[in-house]
Structure 1
Amino acid sequence: MLTLIQDNQQLTLLISLIVFVMVFLWTLQHSAIAYGDKLQARLFEYGRALATKFEIKQRLAKFKVSHPKLYHFFWQRLNIEHFYGLPLTALVLVMGYILSLFIGLVEDVVTSDSIVAIDHFVSQQMSVLSDSVVIDFFILITSLGSTPTTALVILLTSILCWMIAQRYLIVGLLIATIGSTAFTYLSKLLFQRDRPLDILLLEQTYSFPSGHATISIALYGFIAYLAVRFGKQFITQIRVVALTVFLCILIGLSRIVLNEHYLSDVMGGYLVGTLWLTVAISVMEWLTAKDKINWEVTWSSSRVYFVWFSVLSVLIATVIYANLSQFPLLQ
């Protein structure tokens, strides 16, 4: 057994990584379902205790008297009763933080910081797996982020939004996908980073950031957002999020295993996708505040059947695309 592991160190580490991610996500999912309500109540309790200890109410009252305009401005930013308050503030802060992370990553890549050395080391390790049995699996996974497959997903999602008479949702879908795709394309032209030497599948574009990683977060993340928003049960919502995160991780990992991208390319793609997903969600919540979107939709049998038809169609199309456009490149 030890000899087998030693002879297949890269494959063992890869499988161990996937198992670790699965266990980690399952643990988070289980903890959120089992202890989510208790944790929320405990946090509110601690918040009230801290407010009492530091006399926050008294200090706020004094600040309101001494600086009424500034107090009103900050209070509006923290108001949870309307979208332009705390929800918009949180979304702007998230977008700013993600953008700063992306800028920092770009700086590391451009200046050939330590991340570049890690990129090449990981790429060399993945080259050993070029003849491994896992390559076929990851080609199927990476096909979920291909242009034909994602275009089909966007089309079917748009049709579903039209069927349920929530056409404004298509706006958010297009913002997430077209915005992230255009941003990624321009970034590739700007940085012009070459792909790894031992690339398995032919690609015509530059490497940074990864378009597959970007679209996986932007597209499948937006669909998960829709599922959570339309969902009624907290357990189902948590499971949808966990499954989507796992899918996005697999798609990003497939780009590294197939040596289509460096590790930092995938990280950059995740950040770009998350940025545009946040923008799309912000627009959706703004339209919701304007009563343009109704999340209390009745899911008739025909609509549910269309959802399952769409899922099955995407899976079949993915297999067909992988076999006709991807696998022949390895021969």
Structure 2
Amino acid sequence: MAVTGNEKKSIIPWLWFSMACVLLFLILVIAIRQPAVQALDRELIQGLNPIRISALILFFSNFTDFASSRLLLLIIALFMIYLFFRKRIFSLILLPLVFLIEREVNGVLKNWVMRDRPPFHHLVHETGYSFPSGHAMNASTVYGLLILLILPLIKSKWIRIAWVTLGLAMILLIGFSRPFLRVHYFTDIFAGYCAGGFFVGISAIVLIFVYNRKR
């Protein structure tokens, strides 16, 4: 089927967004090989030392789990039930499908870049490569998708604002938790956001096609 004018207007911003995410990710892949960027990454982690107090370490050690695969699968399952009752069957399928694809892509990207984790004492146990951050990629993909999928179902303006704010706060705080806990560099987080943003952008384009065709 031909793409309508309204669809083009809706798709183009998401297409540019997705392309920008890919471009920024590739720039970061090159940048992290540069000694100056590596030094800055280490300095930024060390710069958080003054605020690494026991209470915050405990908070972020637990909060970071909101982007763990185990907890996200539970969150996804709960929202799949909600989407089922709201008769958003395609959204119900898209949410877990994109998450599972994103998990596989994260492993591929980590094995491609092969960046070691920060050479500092880790405050939570982590293994494997560092770039891009799996937690940042998980958070931006899942919570970004939840903003995208649930927002059209909310009628109240203030609840819509609260929902977007909550989703963005989850993404940003989970991202910050990783270098705070010394298990990732900040560039790992930005790369995770770029990769997750790409999945959200492509999902938005697919949703525009699917739901516009049903009207």
> Could you state the TM-score of these two structures normalised by the residue count of structure 2?
0.90
Q: Does structure 1 retain, via aligned residues, the 8 Å contact 2:61–2:124? A: no
Which fold has the larger relative contact order, with Cα–Cα distance below 8 Å and residues 6 or more apart in sequence? 2
Q: Distance in 1 between matches of 2:112 and 2:71?
A: 26
**Contact 1:173/1:280 (8 A) holds in 2:** no
| Alpha-carbon distance change, 288 to 77 in structure 1, aligned in 2, over 3 angstroms | closer
1:131, distance to aligned residue in structure 2 (A): 5.6
Residue-by-residue CA offset, 1:227-246 (whole Å, 9 max, x unaligned) = 21111123322221122111
Q: Tell me the secondary structure at the aligned position of residue 133 of structure 1.
A: helix
Is residue 133–residue 188 contact of structure 2 (8 Å, CA) maintained in 1?
Answer: yes
Contact 1:77–1:86 (8 Å) recurs in 2 = no
Query: 2-side partners of 1:154 and 1:78: how far apart?
Result: 32
Matched, 1:107 2:30: yes
Match of 1:262 among 169, 182, 185: 185
Q: Is the 8 A contact 1:95 1:278 kept in 2?
A: yes
Tell me the matched-pair count. Answer: 213
- Report matched runs for 1:181-200 at 5 Å: 181-197=103-119, 198-200=121-123
Q: Contact 1:126 / 1:258 at 8 angstroms: preserved in 2?
A: no
1:174 partner letter? P
Give the Cα separation in 2 of the matches to 1:262 and 1:247: 18
Which consecutive residues of structure 1, in runs of 5 or more, have no partner in the other structure?
A: 1-75, 293-331
Among all aligned residue pairs of Structure 1 and Structure 2, give the percentage whose two residues are the same amino acid. Answer: 25
State the match for 1:176 in structure 2.
98
Whose Rg is larger?
A: 1
More divergent stretch after superposition (221-230 vs 176-185): 176-185
AA aligned opposite 1:274:
G
Shift of residue 279, structure 1, vs aligned partner: 1.1
Distance in 2 between the 1:244 and 1:215 partners?
A: 12
Alignment of 1:113-124 (within 5 A): 113-124=35-46
Aligned to 1:220: 143
RMSD of aligned Cα (Å):
2.1
Q: CA deviation at 1:130?
A: 5.5
Unaligned ranges ≥5, structure 2? none
> What residue identity is the alignment partner of 1:287?
V
Give 1:97 deviation, angstroms. Answer: 1.3
